[in-house]
Amino acid sequence: MAAVSESPVFRATTTAPVNIAVIKYWGKRDATLNLPTNSSLSVTLSQRSLRTLTTASCSATYPAADELTLNGKPQEIQSSKRTLACIASLRAHRKDLEDADSSLPRLSSFPLRIVSENNFPTAAGLASSAAGFAALVRAVADLYKLPHSPKELSRIARQGSGSACRSLMGGYVAWRAGELEDGSDSLAEEVAPQAHWPEMRALILVVSAEKKDIPSTTGMQTTVATSELFATRANAVVPARMTAIETAIQNRDFPAFAEITMRDSNGFHATCLDSWPPIFYMNDVSRAAVRLVHDINNIVGRTVCAYTFDAGPNAVIYYLEKDSDIVAGTFKSILGTSLEGWSGPFYDAVKDVTSGVPLDQVDSRAVDVLKTGLSRVILTGVGEGPISVEDHLIGEKGEILSTL
Amino acid sequence: MAAVSESPVFRATTTAPVNIAVIKYWGKRDATLNLPTNSSLSVTLSQRSLRTLTTASCSATYPAADELTLNGKPQEIQSSKRTLACIASLRAHRKDLEDADSSLPRLSSFPLRIVSENNFPTAAGLASSAAGFAALVRAVADLYKLPHSPKELSRIARQGSGSACRSLMGGYVAWRAGELEDGSDSLAEEVAPQAHWPEMRALILVVSAEKKDIPSTTGMQTTVATSELFATRANAVVPARMTAIETAIQNRDFPAFAEITMRDSNGFHATCLDSWPPIFYMNDVSRAAVRLVHDINNIVGRTVCAYTFDAGPNAVIYYLEKDSDIVAGTFKSILGTSLEGWSGPFYDAVKDVTSGVPLDQVDSRAVDVLKTGLSRVILTGVGEGPISVEDHLIGEKGEILSTL
Three-class SS state of A382: strand
Q: Chain B: give the shortest CA distance to residue A123, in Å.
A: 19
Per-residue pLDDT at B128:
80
Average pLDDT of B333-353? Answer: 94
State pLDDT tens for residues B202-218. 999 999 866 666 888 89
Per-residue pLDDT at A2:
41
| Residues 6 or more apart in contact with residue B260 via CB below 8 angstroms | B22, B23, B241, B244, B245, B248
**pLDDT beyond 80 at B4:** no
Closest CB to A228 among B237, B274, B290: B237
Per-residue pLDDT at A212:
63
How many C-beta neighbours within 10 Å does residue B209 have? 11
- Amino acid identity of residue B276, one-letter, is W
Query: B-chain residues within 8 Å CB-CB of A278?
Result: 262, 266, 290
Q: Dump strand ranges (E) for B106-216.
A: 112-118, 172-175, 188-192, 200-207
Distance of alpha carbon A305 from alpha carbon A125, whole angstroms: 22
State pLDDT tens for residues A139-176. 999 999 999 999 999 999 999 999 999 999 999 999 99
Per-residue pLDDT at B229:
98
Q: HSE on the CB side for B173, CA within 13 Å?
A: 31
State pLDDT tens for residues B249-270. 999 999 999 999 999 999 999 9
Q: Do B263 and A271 make contact, defined as CB atoms within 8 angstroms?
A: no
User: Which pLDDT band, with edges at 50, 70 and 90, does B1 fall under?
Assistant: very low
Structural contact between residues A203 and A319, judged by C-beta atoms closer than 8 angstroms: yes
User: Which pLDDT band, with edges at 50, 70 and 90, does B388 fall under?
Assistant: very high
Domain A200-381 in the same topology as domain A10-196: no
State pLDDT tens for residues A222-236. 999 999 999 999 999
Q: Is A147 buried (19+), middle (13-18) or exposed (0-12) by CB count in 10 A?
A: exposed
Q: Do A228 and B210 make contact, defined as CB atoms within 8 angstroms?
A: no
Q: Chain B: give the shortest CA distance to residue A352, in Å.
A: 32
Closest CB to A270 among B231, B273, B290: B273
Flag the least confident range among A154-168, B4-18, B138-152, B390-404: B4-18
Closest CB to B228 among A237, A283, A290: A237
Q: Do A269 and B267 make contact, defined as CB atoms within 8 angstroms?
A: no
Angle of helix B254-273 relative to helix B238-250, nearest 10 degrees, comes to 160
Average pLDDT of B45-61? Answer: 96
Where do the structural domains in chain B lie, given as residue ranges?
10-196, 200-381
Per-residue pLDDT at A1:
40
Q: Do A290 and B269 make contact, defined as CB atoms within 8 angstroms?
A: no
Answer with the residue of higher pLDDT: B1 or A315: A315
- Please, what is the average pLDDT of chain A? 94
Query: B-chain residues within 8 Å CB-CB of A263?
Result: 228, 274, 276
Into which CATH architecture does domain A200-381 fall? 2-Layer Sandwich (3.30)
How many C-beta neighbours within 10 Å does residue B50 have? 23
In this prediction the pTM is 0.95
Q: Do A287 and B276 make contact, defined as CB atoms within 8 angstroms?
A: no
* Closest by Cα among A116, A74, A111, A38 to A386: A116
Per-residue pLDDT at A53:
97
User: Which pLDDT band, with edges at 50, 70 and 90, does A295 fall under?
Assistant: very high
Q: Do B365 and A259 make contact, defined as CB atoms within 8 angstroms?
A: no
Nearest residue of B to residue A241 by CA position?
B228
Q: Do B232 and A228 make contact, defined as CB atoms within 8 angstroms?
A: yes
**pLDDT beyond 80 at A309:** yes
Q: Do A278 and B290 make contact, defined as CB atoms within 8 angstroms?
A: yes
Q: Do A229 and B210 make contact, defined as CB atoms within 8 angstroms?
A: no
State pLDDT tens for residues A84-142. 999 999 999 999 999 999 999 999 999 999 999 999 876 566 767 899 999 999 999 99
**pLDDT beyond 80 at A185:** yes
- Give the pairing type, strands B305-309 and B315-320: antiparallel
Q: In what order do the strands lie in the sheet with A200-207?
A: A305-309, A315-320, A200-207, A374-381
**pLDDT beyond 80 at A403:** no
Would you identify the CATH topology of the domain B10-196? Ribosomal Protein S5; domain 2 (3.30.230)
Distance of alpha carbon B188 from alpha carbon B40, whole angstroms: 9
* Closest by Cα among B88, B45, B53 to B72: B53
To test the contact with chain B by mutation, choose from A26, A263, A293 the residue with the greatest count of B C-beta atoms within 10 A, namely A263
Per-residue pLDDT at A128:
79
Q: Chain B: give the shortest CA distance to residue A128, in Å.
A: 26
